[in-house]
Amino acid sequence: MVLVDTNIILRYVLNDHPEHSHKAREFILNNEVMILTQVIAEAIYVLGGVYKADRKSIYNSLSKIIFLGNVCLEDDVIVRLAIYEYSVSKLDFVDALLYAYNKINGMPIETFDKELLKKIQN
């Protein structure tokens, strides 16, 4: 299993560089890869901040990778739920992760964030 960095993820989903995008796609499709949560967080930050992608587009783009059979995520179920919650709420990705840990593992959350509090109380 090989860890991939954010640039590999971005080239795969954006398909914006003739050489690098092709190499990223071939590598991801033909290897067992692991994507760390930090890499997902950075990809979301770059897609939203730099490329101005909306949350739904970010979810759709990342889904092309995270549901591949040869791709593993750190805390798969939690990260997948967090990406989804990020796409359908106003939570930033880190708060969506906290929400996912709460829902999946029952871990309590202490926060002053009103949006997160509202979400976990529903």
Report whether pLDDT(122) > 80. no
Cα–Cα distance between 92 and 18 in angstroms, integer? 31
Over residues 55-69, the pLDDT tens digits come to 999 999 999 999 999
Report whether pLDDT(10) > 80. yes
HSE, CB side, 13 Å, CA atoms: give it for residue 2.
10
Using a 10 angstrom Cβ sphere, with 0-12 exposed, 13-18 middle and 19 or more buried, the burial of residue 61 is: buried
The β-bridge partners of 3 are 34
Q: If pLDDT is split at 50, 70 and 90, which confidence band does 121 have?
A: confident
